[in-house]
Amino acid sequence: MEKENEEKAIKYMKQAVAQKTDVICLSESFVYWGEEYKQRQCTLKDIEKYQNFAKENNVNIVLGSVSIRKEDSEKTTNTCFVINRSGEIVHRYDKKYMYKVNKETLKVDETKRTIPRKNKWNI
């Protein structure tokens, strides 16, 4: 995970907790913007930081999306986690439909780096 963005996320989450919020929603790819964008992956161990934060601060968290590398692939998932105030992952959604843009000024093909969800994953 990109350390600078992770620190910003925690900082803003603390501000939200101070305002007695019930649910914190982080954006898609919230830890990957900036110079380290191409790394684009984290582990389930990284998610534990957010589970601990939820439990310690009695708040629900929606991690907009993170990229999890599967052991048997060079590709990653585009995964959203919902963490309850007890720090438990109560829902995981892996993006199913990938997009492709092929314009003169912009070319994007998510299938080159992202594994689409074909069935239910174990958390």
- CATH architecture of the domain 3-112 equals 4-Layer Sandwich (3.60)
What's residue 5's pLDDT? Answer: 78
Distances in Å between the Cα of 32 and the Cα atoms of 42, 51, 79 are: 10, 19, 13
- Using only the alpha carbons of the chain, give its radius of gyration: 15
Closest C-alpha to 47, from 92, 16, 12, 4: 92
How large is the average pLDDT for residues 118-123? 58
pTM of the complete model beyond 0.85: no
The pLDDT-based confidence of 1 (bands split at 50, 70, 90) is very low
Q: How many CB atoms lie within 10 A of CB 97?
A: 7
User: For 60-113, how does the pLDDT look when each residue is reduced to its tens digit (9 = 90+)?
Assistant: 999 988 888 777 777 888 889 999 999 999 999 988 888 899 999 999 888 888
Q: Each residue of 3-27: pLDDT tens digit?
A: 777 888 899 999 999 999 999 999 8
